[in-house]
Amino acid sequence: MTTVAFIGLGNMGSGMADNLVKNDYNVLAFDLSEAALAKAKEAGCTIAQSTEQAAAEADIVITMLPAGKHVKDIYSNQILSSVCEGTLLIDCSTIDVETAKSVSELAEKKGLKMLDAPVSGGVAAAAGGTLTFMVGGDAEAFDKAHGVLSAMGKKIVHAGGHGAGQAAKICNNMLLGATMIATCESFQLAKKLGLDAQVFFDIASNASGQTWSMTTYCPVKGVGPQSPADNDFAGGFASALMLKDLGLAMQGAKGVNAQVPMGELAAKWFEMHCEEGNAGMDFSSIINRLA
């Protein structure tokens, strides 16, 4: 039986670890939160005393942490000094490309294989085992990771070398943030011009203005498939997480001198939206700012 050390059992990590247990992995779990550990124990994970203990006994280490500073700290100070030779390291957190690359380099200096493997899909996909993984690292490590990632996701894509998984994630989410705002403003303008939202949906979702934000995740209540708009924007993908990902995209763009005017504007709008008390609401609630 393969032993996986799973570090970070929050909203996403708890569902992912649960799916590993269901797929017959021996999961050694650690988190700083007692509540997260209790939930992991209930799901069938074995609770480790520390990150170091879990890492030392694992064939594979998976981390699902809030941000780059946590990832850097935990790999530099706890994981890399504890793991055995041959242990595969997979960071699934969404972090900046530079940190992903530098932590992988540290791992390689110790002779360890590491992948950045951020996910798309949110809490429901984590619980349902239907995440998409965007993976950066070498092909050999990718092949080795495929089985364990498949236990938690339905689509596993090799994006390129170290940091490429994070690059794919932040570019995708920058596009999503901008297209959601464009979709919202189009619906609001259509309304002010006297056009019915359902009629606009039927036209635009079959015309050149079609976007995922419209056809799959429509920000207007009662229009299109079920979405957070039908639930007063509760659940879904929090505006705060969209703002976090746009911040990472802006950081990435600055580092390589890329021009991202739409991304910058989206970041500014989501920042205002979060400051106005909507950080916990689904990101499509930004339609209310455009009313």
DSSP letters along 33-48, please? -HHHHHHHHHTTPEEP
Residue 25 contacts by C-beta under 8 Å, 6 or more apart in sequence? 1, 2, 3, 4, 148, 151
Task: Output 113 or 244, the one with its CB closest to ligand NAD.
Answer: 244
Q: Which of 72, 101, 113, 169 is catalytic?
A: 169
Which CA distances in Å does 230 have to 49, 223, 274?
Answer: 43, 8, 20
β-pair type (119-120, 131-136): antiparallel
Query: Rounded CA gap, 40 and 10, in Å?
Result: 10
Task: Output 71 or 223, the one with its CB closest to ligand NAD.
Answer: 71
Task: Output 17 or 21, the one with its CB closest to ligand NAD.
Answer: 17
Positive or negative, the Cα torsion across 255, 256, 260, 261?
positive
Task: Output 223 or 243, the one with its CB closest to ligand NAD.
Answer: 243
Minimum distance of ligand NAD from residue 172's CB (angstroms): 11
Minimum distance of ligand NAD from residue 228's CB (angstroms): 12
In the residue annotation, 169 being an active-site residue is answered as yes
Which residue is at the shortest CB distance from ligand NAD?
10
Question: Which residues of the shown chain bind ligand NAD in the complex (CB under 6 A)?
Answer: 7-13, 30-33, 36, 51, 64-66, 70, 74, 93-94, 119, 122-123, 237, 241, 244
Quick one: three-class SS letters along 156-225? Answer: EEEEECCCHHHHHHHHHHHHHHHHHHHHHHHHHHHHHCCCCHHHHHHHHCCCCCCCHHHHCCCCCCCCCC
Minimum distance of ligand NAD from residue 70's CB (angstroms): 5
* 265 CA to centre of own chain: 21
Task: Output 13 or 163, the one with its CB closest to ligand NAD.
Answer: 13
Minimum distance of ligand NAD from residue 189's CB (angstroms): 29
Minimum distance of ligand NAD from residue 154's CB (angstroms): 15
Residues marked active site are found at 169
